[in-house]
A and B are shown apart, each in its own frame.
Chain A
Amino acid sequence: QSVLTQPPSVSAAPGQKVTISCSGSSSNIGNNYVSWYQQLPGTAPKLLIYDNNKRPSGIPDRFSGSKSGTSATLGITGLQTGDEADYYCGTWDSSLSESWVFGGGTKLTVL
């Protein structure tokens, strides 16, 4: 059971837009910054978004992040078959058991 809640799967057609939600609480998303990671099949996770909404160099602007209250959202526009991957949100949890926490992951299928 992950501290952050993500939908297990989302799907959309090529060229369409999709959003992936990440729900937490005041001890994590509500008071800390969120990052997002893309894990292509058989590979290591790769940083996609940091500081809630910033993209590292090399990440196309088709990828965007936002945060509101205790939830965060990853948006992907102009979907490509190469975007098929697992996506994870992560943040610091400031509860009694302080640690980095991640969502359970969302599998994106581009139909």
Chain B
Amino acid sequence: QVQLQESGPGLVKPSQTLSLTCTVSGGSISSGGYYWSWIRQHPGKGLEWIGYIYYSGSTYYNPSLKSRVTISVDTSKNQFSLKLSSVTAADTAVYYCAREDRGIAVAGVRGWFDPWGQGTLVTVSS
């Protein structure tokens, strides 16, 4: 079955850029049919969706983070990546990558996240 694994620095300095990579195994990003998302969870808090990318490279970001977020895909490595610029302490969180599945609907959006990576804690501190 498909598995996702996040990797990247666990400590980032304020004002710098947070960079994470999600490696997908057990399936190919290039096969299409799925969106690949980043989601974060502040310590002791709920979930916040950051954005997604399709294998073609098309992206969509959470409007609240859009100005600072870039998500890219490397189909040759079966990976997708997150860059979050100008970070502050408020960006300290566990970052998850997840596969977003969509269903066809007559009306409304059908979608869900499955599976998820194990998550990686990123702390923003000098």
- Which residues of A approach B to under 8 Å, CB–CB? 2, 31-33, 35, 37, 43-47, 50-51, 56, 88, 90-92, 94, 97-105
Contact = CB atoms under 8 A, between A and B. Distances in A.
B46, B63, B113 pick with most chain A CB within 10 angstroms: B46
22 contacts: A31-B108, A32-B109, A33-B110, A33-B111, A35-B112, A44-B96, A44-B118, A45-B47, A46-B114, A46-B116, A47-B115, A50-B112, A51-B112, A90-B113, A92-B108, A97-B63, A99-B49, A99-B62, A99-B63, A100-B37, A100-B111, A105-B45
B49 A101 contact: yes
Given A88-B47, A102-B49, A56 B109 contact: no
Contacts of A47: 112-115
A34 to B, nearest CB: 9
Interface in B21-38: 37
A45 B108 contact: no
B49 A100 contact: yes
Contacts of B110: 32-33, 51
Q: How large is the interface on B (under 10, 10 to 19, 20 to 34, 35 or more residues)?
A: 20 to 34
Contacts, number: 75
A102 B119 CA distance: 17
Contacts of B113: 35, 37, 45, 47, 90
Contact of B96 (A45, A56, A90): A45
Given A98-B63, A102-B49, A33 B116 contact: no
Contacts of A92: 108-109, 111
A32 B108 CA distance: 4
